[in-house]
Structure 1
């Protein structure tokens, strides 16, 4: 394995992480912005109000997008194992 192979494997791993966790992080960010806007408009400063909707949104996205995320991780694992089998 040379430096180019290692960098390609690292780039592929980082991209898999971004694509795999992106939907859940995006859902949490959007729900967080909506709750923050709601709190700013109504001046309700309840600290638990920020956590519960985010948790629910992330669980829903994980339930719906779980097969997609799992497929991405599985494809990356197959790619790595194929490279190991070929000897890089």
Structure 2
């Protein structure tokens, strides 16, 4: 296993982590921004008003994108498992 293989696996891991976390993080960001704007307009400073809608929106985002996330993760895992013989052959020879 050489340096380029390790860097390639690391890059692929970071990319898949970013792709999988994006729907949840973007949803939380948009809902949080909307609630903060609403709170600043109405001057209501209630903590649960910020937390509960974000939690519900994130749960909905997970329900909508959950199947895609699992499919991506299973595909990535299969790709990594398929690379094991190649990586082991590179370290032996």
Q: TM-score, normalised by structure 2?
A: 0.91
Aligned to 2:90: none
Runs of 5+ in structure 1 lacking a partner?
A: none
Structure 1 segments of 4 or more deviating over 2 A?
none
Q: In the alignment, is residue 69 of structure 1 matched against residue 52 of structure 2?
A: no
Alignment pair present for 1:18 and 2:18: yes
State the Cα RMSD in Å: 0.7
What TM-score results when the alignment is normalised by the length of structure 1?
0.95
Q: Distance in 2 between matches of 1:73 and 1:43?
A: 43
Unaligned residue ranges in structure 2 (runs of 5+): 88-93
In the TM superposition, residue 87 of structure 1 has moved relative to its aligned partner by 3.0
Q: Does 1:87 align with 2:86?
A: yes
Cα distance, 1:46 vs structure 2: 0.3
